[in-house]
Amino acid sequence: MERIHELIKQLNVVCCETGIEGHHRIEQLILTLDNLLVEAQQLNLEFDEREYPDPPKHNYAEIRAQIAPNFPKFGLYNCAAEIDGNIGESKLSVGDSIGDIVEILNDLYDISWRFENTSAGDAFFYFELGFRSHWGRHARELQLYIHNYYW
């Protein structure tokens, strides 16, 4: 499970560091997202019931400004507003590929902070909770966008 913390660091490098070629960056983004999603499916949690402080807040605009230049061709995309109702009649909503990356990183930065400041059990709990309730959806929609864009 230590791998999750390393994958979070790897995702940060892929998304935020300069000097990575565009094609290689996208391939690494795909691979890192895939690995994070696999890890989310394989967790066997032992809940840590201790009370811990919340992680510090992150500045969405600053993270977005750092990421956007590294994915210059990424943009908005269509996605279904409802995927399990109104079959064939669902309206479209607009997704934002850079916004997806920021949302994923925001959640995973909190997990990384928990690994370093609370406990592994606390970090794993929030990793799975975030996967199920927030960052997992962003990751899946981003994967579909990249698949369409990249291939």
Are the C-beta atoms of residues 8 and 131 closer than 8 Å to each other? no
46 pLDDT more than 80: no
Q: What integer is the mean pLDDT of 12-40?
A: 94
Query: Cα torsion at 130, 6, 17, 66 (round to 10°)?
Result: 20
Query: Cα torsion at 14, 20, 23, 29 (round to 10°)?
Result: 0
47 pLDDT more than 90: no
| Strand residue runs (E) in 15-75 | none
Give the whole-angstrom CA distance, residue 62 versus residue 67: 9
CA distance readout (Å), 150 to 2, 65, 95, 129: 30, 22, 17, 29
List, for residues 80-135, the tens digit of each pLDDT value: 887 887 788 888 899 999 999 999 999 999 999 999 999 999 999 999 999 999 99
1 pLDDT more than 60: no
Per the prediction, the chain carries an average pLDDT of: 93
From 149, 122, 151, 146, select the one nearest 14 (Cα to Cα).
Answer: 146
What DSSP designation does 96 have? E
Return the pLDDT at 146: 95
Q: Give the up-direction half-sphere exposure of residue 147: CA atoms within 13 A in the CB hemisphere.
A: 8
Reading the block at residue 88, the tokens are 């064939």
> For the CA atoms of the chain, what is the radius of gyration?
16
Total Cβ atoms within 10 A of residue 34: 13
Return the pLDDT at 21: 85
What DSSP designation does 70 have? G
